[in-house]
Structure 1
């Protein structure tokens, strides 16, 4: 296959899935990892992709917000590993809040196995996942609010009012992007405000975000890094950023994906 045809297929894959892995592309296209890396370098120079650890994502994420089902497939193995690690922070019988997001949706599957939780969310997807998998003794609180896509989040004054009257032990927040200066961001102003209200209601703030979120800046900042008590990410998180982030957040926990985390 000519380099131009191969790079066209790689770009199609990035556009379809939002992110790609070097190892996966090498197998699919029957070439070496080094060849794929050169292809990604070339595409990055054209400004159509942005390289991340182990692969690439679509360039211009600041302006792009894809739908839940498409985002759910991005970095799926990392999200499963992050969810397992994050669930270890939760004790039976506590009150837990989850923001909208595909990593928090994955986390819901883990929390459904813990007895006696009160689970608060503004995500219709998270609420349905908890309802489907929940165990006796769990209580699910859905905030209400204005439904918006593509994140399938409930936002606005109704959601904010509901959250202001609550106090939760721990909040798990998804993120569109993480940046040393911009902090934790989302493309949507209403969702940013609802996330801020969630933070104000929480005793502990935990951000769950895979490594591809680093360096991505959405329109609205809803928390500086120093407001994050714990960041749960995967081992692909850039090493050059770890020390700088560690100076800002309370604690960083790294999750290691394994073969069981790979998409079916």
Structure 2
């Protein structure tokens, strides 16, 4: 396939799904990793896509623009993994945990596969699938119903009604953005309503948000900063953001994305 045709195919996929991964393009288009990266560089130079770690996404998200799961999963992968690893330490065997939808909560879910006797409530198809694949007989997973969003969340009146009758020890909440004025936000109105119900059902609120979420504002507020018992972010968070969060939330935890590499034993 000629470079021009290949780049057009890549651009169409980005516009359709919100983002692409290099590995998927290598597999689907049958070319090398280097070729795909050159294609993405060419598209980015023309302002048609935004390059991110491991792939590319659409350009210029607004307060109501919601990237698909593939687009979001290509962003800040190291940060999300570090955040998930730290947050998993907060979950005790035998507890009930609600997980909202999102790529950070999906990453977090993989760290709970070995925690015994958990009861998990989620409105995320992707999160529920993680536990289904793990197949622990001592874990109970409840997937609420609802209308599916671009980020694979189930939202709306059906989800709200199901969550309203539940009480859980902890909610692990993924967010689109956070700021002092707007709090924790999402670009999806129905998802905000469903997430607010999850907040109300939980004894403790833990928010997972990498440093790029600071200053980003979605159209609808899920919760005020003061409602968070714990925010787990990463060391890329600016000093200003650290100060603001430390002032407003119960506890701020910063995960170091480079810790795994430094702690890894020499071969």
Pairwise TM-score range, normalised by the shorter structure = 0.7 to 0.9
Report what 1:228 is aligned to. 228
Q: Secondary structure at the match of 1:250?
A: coil
Q: Structure 1-normalised TM-score?
A: 0.76
Q: Secondary structure at the match of 2:66?
A: coil
- The 1:231/1:58 distance shift into structure 2, 3 A limit, reads farther
For the 8 Å contact 1:113–1:134, the answer to whether it is kept is: no
Q: 1:61 deviation in Å?
A: 3.7
Report what 1:247 is aligned to. 247
Mapped pair 1:105 → 2:103:
no
Aligned counterparts of 1:125 and 1:259: Cα–Cα separation in 2: 27
Aligned counterparts of 1:58 and 1:143: Cα–Cα separation in 2: 32
Higher relative contact order (CA closer than 8 Å, sequence separation 6+): 1
Q: Secondary structure at the match of 2:169?
A: strand
Gap regions ≥5 residues in structure 1: 1-11, 19-27, 30-42, 50-56
Aligned counterparts of 2:259 and 2:235: Cα–Cα separation in 1: 14
Report what 2:187 is aligned to. 187
How do 1:80-95 residues align onto structure 2 when only pairs under 5 Å count?
Answer: 80-95=81-96
CA RMSD of aligned residues (A): 2.8
How do 1:1-264 residues align onto structure 2 when only pairs under 5 Å count?
Answer: 58-146=59-147, 148-258=148-258
Q: Secondary structure at the match of 1:168?
A: coil
CA deviations on 1:201-234 (whole Å, 9 max, x unpaired) are: 0000010011111100000001010111100001
For the 8 Å contact 1:61–1:216, the answer to whether it is kept is: no
Aligned counterparts of 2:128 and 2:165: Cα–Cα separation in 1: 19
Aligned counterparts of 2:183 and 2:59: Cα–Cα separation in 1: 20
Q: 1:145 deviation in Å?
A: 1.5
Q: 1:98 deviation in Å?
A: 0.1
For the 8 Å contact 1:17–1:74, the answer to whether it is kept is: no
The total of aligned residue pairs comes to 220
Q: Structure 2-normalised TM-score?
A: 0.75
Gap regions ≥5 residues in structure 2: 1-10, 21-36, 39-45, 51-57, 262-267
Aligned counterparts of 1:235 and 1:62: Cα–Cα separation in 2: 25
Q: 1:58 deviation in Å?
A: 4.9
